[in-house]
Structure 1
């Protein structure tokens, strides 16, 4: 089974959405992925993230903000994907065969639900492509080019 860690600063929005969307994409693709998310600091899962994920039929109930210290075997991931620049800079060194990727997304915090939806949709496209590449035995997308900020 391939282990994937999605890392952000607070594990409150982007990484939480990416975790749920990656699990769903893996389920649809029949890919054997163990997906976790964490932050460099723990806070809480934001209500807006819960709302826009529920619109996709995905619940963040039971999700909580956590750090690497809260994860099983935190140094044993096949892929570590940062979704914000701050986490990319603070990401610890992973020994061995861990592949680090950086897929930065605009922080939707403080924005309208439309902004949250736009970021969720960008995350969905990127992480679906990641899962489909893994499931198809193709190289995963090496990076994500952030689209223009949304209002």
Structure 2
């Protein structure tokens, strides 16, 4: 059975998109039955071009990404999530919708690369460093025996990944 993971960031334009791309990329490469989705509480309606560039430069296809509202994933017929991860502090502080199936919830904060100093080159570097940090965590997540962990065990494993 596919393990669905939802990554949330307020605008669903940068960090959550990097997470979705990296997790789906590594899951496919490693043959894991894991599917990532991303969304936001107040989606911007566009994906930050530096996020798409960072994914593309890493060899990850960027077609089909869009900025989505998290309500899509709380609606009838939406995939049932096993894990919901917030990646920005403002999304972590918001009251999330009810998620069917009571998924494990975790906050893995990353600084917003969109706010990096140094003009476009500074932003490119910040997006790449954020993509690398996210990729490292996604590899750790995919190393877990997701099919056999209880929610309590999974919660503890996600906390351990956060602290590493």
Normalising by structure 2, we get a TM-score of 0.79
Q: Extract unaligned runs of 5+ from structure 1.
A: 147-151
Give the 3-state SS of the residue equivalent to 2:90 in structure 1. helix
Q: Work out the CA distance in 2 between the residues paired with 1:30 and 1:81.
A: 22
- Which whole-Å CA distance do the structure 2 matches of 1:27 and 1:134 have between them? 16
**1:106 correspondence with 2:124:** no
1:29-62 CA distances to partner (integer Å, 9 max, x unpaired)? 2111122100111111001001111110012222
Structure 2: tracts of 5 or more residues without a match: 117-121
* Contact 1:39 1:67 (8 Å CA) reproduced: yes
Counterpart position of 2:137: 126
- Given the alignment, which residue of 45, 54, 58 partners 2:60? 58
Cα gap change, 1:3/1:136 in structure 2, threshold over 3 Å: closer, same or farther? Answer: closer
Secondary structure at the residue paired with 1:11? coil
| Conserved? CA contact 1:129–1:141, under 8 Å | no
Equivalent of 1:78 in 79, 82, 86? 82
Any conservation in 1 of the 2:81–2:100 contact (CA below 8 Å)?
no
Per-residue deviation, residues 56-110 of structure 1 (Å, max 9, x unmatched): 0012222010012334645831100111111111133435441001110110003
Deviation by residue 1:97-127 (Cα, 9 ceiling, x = unmatched): 4100111011000321111111111111111
Cα-Cα RMSD: 2.3
Higher CA-based Rg: 2
